[in-house]
Structure 1
């Protein structure tokens, strides 16, 4: 077929592209938006270069972009979509035997590669908009590189992007050549408009659009974060009868999307999400209004599913959006943020693989027989933590076994193209409640709800005429078609389908008069007033929030359940275990049946596992301290002396703190510990006797020499040394030290004993670790004080004189 390609900038590099693909088998094409990389290049490859070599598959990150690209190429050929050029997206396909170019979403092509890695009949895969770094696109690139390395060395890969780290991508493709096409650009006037104080983004954008309509010529393309903001801005602009205000986002019908992508008879304002940043061309646009916001993938903890968070755009995205105003002539871009804030924008956005919930990626990797992704060539490898969390969820849902290998159920889940939670709920729910009902609940979980009671929300959606309800019914139809042949009719039960998706969110009320529920996952959440669910002991929770400042989470979407349903839906979380623990100050042994953190039944255990009892006793010693043992004065003294020697001499003298002693329990508390069964048994263990097992030999023979229990003073008295503080202390009456020339030293002479010199009444009179200095400098003052208070006692002027005869202490 002879095709007259449109005169777009990419035509100038088609020869270089042919050379790169023919010689290397892969290439990187860097081409700004509007240069023809999405339409001209596939037409050239399929119909001009090597028409006999097979089909060209173009992978787009979004469904809207896939449909639009196919429609544009078919229009250039003067044919309907589905003949030479077709497309395939989830739930919709327009291709025929004559199709040479097929535009698909990245996620759909991942599934095709999984089913048949050799991609029969495909000669070239064009990966479009690589710079957007969608998770499916990154995975697809890694899988195709693996296919090309092991199965299809003849498969040609072309990575196309508007702005990308070309050298890094070229290296990933095996030192592939980089071909660059330069766009014809027109000057763009950049205007910054700061929001007023307290002004919402929708109000600010609507105000800026009104100003742009009066200040500049041409159609307006306005970028907003999401569908809700588009709807509200459209409402604020409803009074402008001289212009057509059109939405553009992925949830619109095909007809409405096409209307936004065609030049109209009147001036138009197109309100778009990020879908219009690069892969779509909106004709007639000479003005861009950029909210500066975008929705990016994040984990939606409320729904337990991948969600979207509103963030500031990167500088690269802002430039790409502004560039839309200069495709057909000089344009104007209004940025809805102050000029001085522009420099603070991040240079590029984060790749989705770094921020997204990764259970779906983990399932695809398990299907590829590489659960951790090792062996694949990644642009950015999956982060270990999120990937491990995704793998654990797959195990819980039965998609993988304990070794991480995909199960038959897991393969069926992956084939649906849904998040693993929703896929499991649809498959197993259809088998139990019927395909239609399971699809209704899954479509609701995917889209969200306005009421807390799921059954009430389902009744509302079945009869409502609003756009959200219509979209829900269309989604139900598609989902039911995926499983209708494998399911049977059953009793409708929304709670069962919810629990299949979120088994860890099955919840039981804490007490009959409480609105707080304990979830199987271990957290608590409160049912809001007026939910209509307050009479139910059990709930299957679909959505819950964690609001700052609240003691519990808040249940936002749930269905009535019961214990029988909970056990049925969450069999993976059901456990029958013997639990022996330290609770309430003693050992408690019981047989417990649980769903996750929720206790179903419990009964006392008569003969618990001795090993579990021992562990509970150790935990009791850890929680309440070694004081649970019987500590005599001698035992306490021995522990203090050993602690002193460890502190001053180190090894082999052992540490005596609680943590160290508990870590060495096998060395000193056995066999007594293993014979004990309760707290009272611990109190019968003589700590002094068992502690001696830690004495190091042969060094233990010097214990009395290195850390004497008592020291003999000049009167002949043997006085106990106190080792309980940092330094050893000898509390002795001053009169018993007369004639003592030097301070006693212990621990091989390394440590001087601190003397607490007492009055005849036993009260402190002086403290010293240097007797010689005390006799020379402090004694006379102490003597003068004590002579007046204790005149009947002898207070010699020279306490070291030979005639001083200290009396023996009785």
Structure 2
């Protein structure tokens, strides 16, 4: 390590922590911060025999660094250098540096808030801004301020806002030092696509990706690192690459769920001297050292878990990486010598990338964080200092969920269940499944606990089966039971994902010990699993109890009000009830990935205290009549309903009013009623000059005031048919005073009387009142009458003798002086027997036909 770029500034780092409470270190990729800094600080006299805790965001990085540092000291892991990840710990009394994942630190803090055996906590790769890193740092700052002013904190990152982190570390009055170190990188040339790909769907990406890998292999001489979004993409790329022979080259996958020995093959030089093509997720961006990389091929994609607070569901989405992430990936090609980075996007698209990835706390389910804070004694996250405060909507939703699971009281304190749930290291939902299994399963205590921990283990990691052709959790449990009994035969009977299955077994075994069970039960039968799995899943996911929508196969309604859908040919599609454990977070009809069958009787038992009975009176659309039923609801899911006998007449009338408040079309809106309403609402749009405006009876007013103008007249009316006997016009007219009715008649009259004495109905449906009248009946009328307190002239649609429109005007005086003569000229040829005088104002109004000459 003597030639690492960070070596020259190690004395400054050591001095900074000797003289200050905290330090923030920015060290570029390849500087050696994760390995050289912890070893250097072990020499610090202020440790006083206490440990250094080094936090890493990934399990693979924890073990890799622990083994590397132990090798540097000529020791085995567990001596001065130890580590702890979930279900695995290698430390001893000699251990001075313990490398852990961030969630492990949170548990330590809850068990020992003073961190009595720790002198320094190092947060490595803090730029990744994981949820647990943000939480752990906030808790450590709280410890430092209230309990341990001698506890030191060191935040390290490749890309970081030094001033922002320094401000956070100094929030409680602590002194903070800064340090920066260059990286050990050689020039890396960038190679972009000439034009953008049609989409980011992997089918579109794959051909171009394979081409870039082949180009990198031809243009470089050493190993190649390929960044892909997830394990599925890694498998498909490996299959495509292995379809054709590669000279002296081996493909090596690298992702978190691989067995340690398989991960090691990707990290070290090939034993047979072959070139490697390492196919990795973003796990390879930081912390890990991969020897021999001279080229990086970057798909530019990563998998992110996005929480939808409106549905309470999390969706795994494939997204573009940020500029910072792309730079981290690119830097992997320049650790040993000049390298090349092949990017699966254009140079112009590079400029459009976000600068940084958003912190996980902004887009994650916060139920685990909320529970940890409650146990810490914090009900309002604002009581702690945060790099990024938890979003209020997400935190409120997390509190509501924890209360529904009995993990928090109504006032936000952690219950005994809540404290026990946090010990599992799983999501609160899965912990509840394990803790309450005995109370809901018709099994022996050992059987119930075994089944619950098996289910939780399956749900806590990626799928234990290689294919997702069906969503049946029962099949996963059967596979896990078989694998536990005989690994070889289980792999023949099921498409087992070995690494995921091994991890699930390890997690289940650890959880079972927490439930005071030394060993799992014998395998349960298919019938037992089908009867019990759904109960346990529903216990953990009460908001995802699902009912099939009528006869529509594969479509379900969830108890949280959202829709969900199964693959068309999934065996579970014919089940009437499901308990859904995993589905994507789409706002409408999310895809169900894992579920178990459920019986409605079990729902009644599990949620007896949450089921509400509600009388419902509403429209039976098929019959066009009111239906009175007694309904049973689990949150927003209708469980059942039955006819309500002898419903109360007052209740029926309330149901009628509720129906009309949604839709007034059930009332008899006769033509004269509609005409009257148009007059009223038209007149209401004008200023009368009085303090009290003329009332407006628009749709919003009618619905909002049903109790005033309609309800008093519904005595004896209990059916939609009975509404037809109502005189709606009379009811509405009664809402006007006598004076208002007189004003309406004067300012918005129903008819206009022509000079010939003919009464013509005025049409108020348009912007201006209008009458249609044969032109000859208007002879002698000099001006257009004015309505609405003189503000609007009446519009005339003048008709030909055939009653076809020939002119529209609201200015009769101007019409007689100008347009009339053009109209008359045209009409004389068409209607020669009719009157078209040159002096229309001197002509007697009336019939359009010329009078016969006297005999």
Q: CA deviation at 1:128?
A: 0.5
Q: In 2, are the aligned partners of 1:86 and 1:96 still within 8 Å (CA)? A: yes
Cross-structure match for 1:227: 231
Q: CA deviation at 1:39?
A: 2.7
SS in 2 for 1:279: coil
Q: CA deviation at 1:475?
A: 1.8
Cross-structure match for 2:814: 773
Q: CA deviation at 1:628?
A: 0.3
Q: In 2, are the aligned partners of 1:787 and 1:795 still within 8 Å (CA)? A: no
- Cα distance, 1:805–1:73 mapped onto 2, change above 3 Å: closer
Cross-structure match for 2:256: 250
Are 2:695 and 1:658 aligned? no
Cross-structure match for 2:302: 295
SS in 1 for 2:98: strand
Are 2:8 and 1:12 aligned? yes
- Cα distance, 1:570–1:720 mapped onto 2, change above 3 Å: same
- Correspondent of 1:502 among 520, 533, 541: 541
Q: CA deviation at 1:286?
A: 4.4
Cross-structure match for 2:631: 592
Distance 1:671 1:436 in 2: 64
- Cα distance, 1:259–1:480 mapped onto 2, change above 3 Å: same
Distance 2:536 2:657 in 1: 43
Q: In 2, are the aligned partners of 1:400 and 1:407 still within 8 Å (CA)? A: yes
- Cα distance, 1:516–1:225 mapped onto 2, change above 3 Å: closer
Are 2:735 and 1:691 aligned? no
- Correspondent of 2:600 among 563, 568, 583: 563
Are 2:101 and 1:105 aligned? yes
SS in 1 for 2:24: strand
Q: In 2, are the aligned partners of 1:285 and 1:324 still within 8 Å (CA)? A: no
- Cα distance, 1:487–1:564 mapped onto 2, change above 3 Å: farther
Q: In 1, are the aligned partners of 2:657 and 2:706 still within 8 Å (CA)? A: no
Decide which moves more: 174-183 or 291-300: 291-300
- Correspondent of 2:614 among 577, 582, 600: 577
Q: CA deviation at 1:478?
A: 2.4
SS in 1 for 2:122: strand
Are 2:770 and 1:729 aligned? yes
SS in 1 for 2:287: coil
Cross-structure match for 1:641: 679
Distance 2:798 2:427 in 1: 79
Aligned positions of 1:136-535 closer than 5 A? 136-174=132-170, 176-188=176-188, 216=220, 218=222, 220-231=224-235, 236=241, 246-258=252-264, 260-262=266-268, 266-267=272-273, 269=276, 270-282=278-290, 284-299=291-306, 306=314, 308-327=316-335, 329-335=336-342, 337=344, 340=347, 342-343=350-351, 345-368=353-376, 370=378, 373-400=381-408, 406-429=414-437, 432=441, 434-445=448-459, 446-448=461-463, 449=465, 450=467, 451-452=469-470, 453-461=472-480, 462-463=482-483, 464-465=490-491, 468-469=497-498, 471-484=500-513, 486=515, 492=529, 493-510=532-549, 514=553, 516-522=555-561, 531-533=570-572
Distance 1:321 1:206 in 2: 18
- Cα distance, 1:674–1:13 mapped onto 2, change above 3 Å: farther
Distance 1:766 1:338 in 2: 65
SS in 1 for 2:614: strand
Q: CA deviation at 1:335?
A: 1.8
Q: CA RMSD in A?
A: 4.4
Are 2:125 and 1:88 aligned? no
Q: In 2, are the aligned partners of 1:425 and 1:498 still within 8 Å (CA)? A: yes
Distance 2:764 2:369 in 1: 62
Q: Deviations over 1:463-516 (max 9, x none)?
A: 424772454144234224324453787964222233334334434445579565
Distance 1:766 1:210 in 2: 78
Distance 2:738 2:513 in 1: 78
Query: Unmatched 5+ residue regions in structure 1?
Result: none
Decide which moves more: 593-602 or 363-372: 363-372
Q: Deviations over 1:185-237 (max 9, x none)?
A: 44445566899999987787777667766765555544444334445555645
- Cα distance, 1:536–1:90 mapped onto 2, change above 3 Å: same
Distance 2:669 2:346 in 1: 75
Are 2:68 and 1:72 aligned? yes
- Cα distance, 1:119–1:699 mapped onto 2, change above 3 Å: farther
For normalisation by structure 2, the TM-score amounts to 0.79
Q: In 2, are the aligned partners of 1:217 and 1:287 still within 8 Å (CA)? A: yes
Distance 1:208 1:765 in 2: 74
- Cα distance, 1:17–1:753 mapped onto 2, change above 3 Å: same
Distance 2:206 2:779 in 1: 93
- Cα distance, 1:693–1:326 mapped onto 2, change above 3 Å: same
Q: CA deviation at 1:417?
A: 1.9
For normalisation by structure 1, the TM-score amounts to 0.83
Q: In 2, are the aligned partners of 1:297 and 1:352 still within 8 Å (CA)? A: no
Cross-structure match for 1:614: 654
Q: In 2, are the aligned partners of 1:287 and 1:325 still within 8 Å (CA)? A: yes
Q: CA deviation at 1:517?
A: 4.6
Q: CA deviation at 1:764?
A: 6.8
Distance 1:102 1:88 in 2: 7
Q: Deviations over 1:609-634 (max 9, x none)?
A: 95785365243354243x6056583x
Decide which moves more: 201-210 or 110-119: 201-210
Distance 1:90 1:76 in 2: 25
Query: Unmatched 5+ residue regions in structure 2?
Result: 442-446, 484-489, 848-855
Cross-structure match for 1:25: 21
Q: In 2, are the aligned partners of 1:193 and 1:208 still within 8 Å (CA)? A: no
Distance 2:252 2:749 in 1: 94
SS in 2 for 1:349: coil
- Correspondent of 2:53 among 51, 54, 57: 57
- Cα distance, 1:15–1:110 mapped onto 2, change above 3 Å: same
Q: Deviations over 1:92-120 (max 9, x none)?
A: 12223343322111122223334443333
Distance 1:211 1:742 in 2: 87
Distance 1:783 1:177 in 2: 97
Q: In 2, are the aligned partners of 1:20 and 1:177 still within 8 Å (CA)? A: yes
Decide which moves more: 642-651 or 483-492: 483-492
SS in 2 for 1:643: helix
Q: CA deviation at 1:748?
A: 1.9
SS in 2 for 1:380: coil
- Cα distance, 1:295–1:420 mapped onto 2, change above 3 Å: farther
Decide which moves more: 308-317 or 79-88: 308-317
Cross-structure match for 1:118: 114
SS in 2 for 1:39: helix
- Cα distance, 1:215–1:472 mapped onto 2, change above 3 Å: same
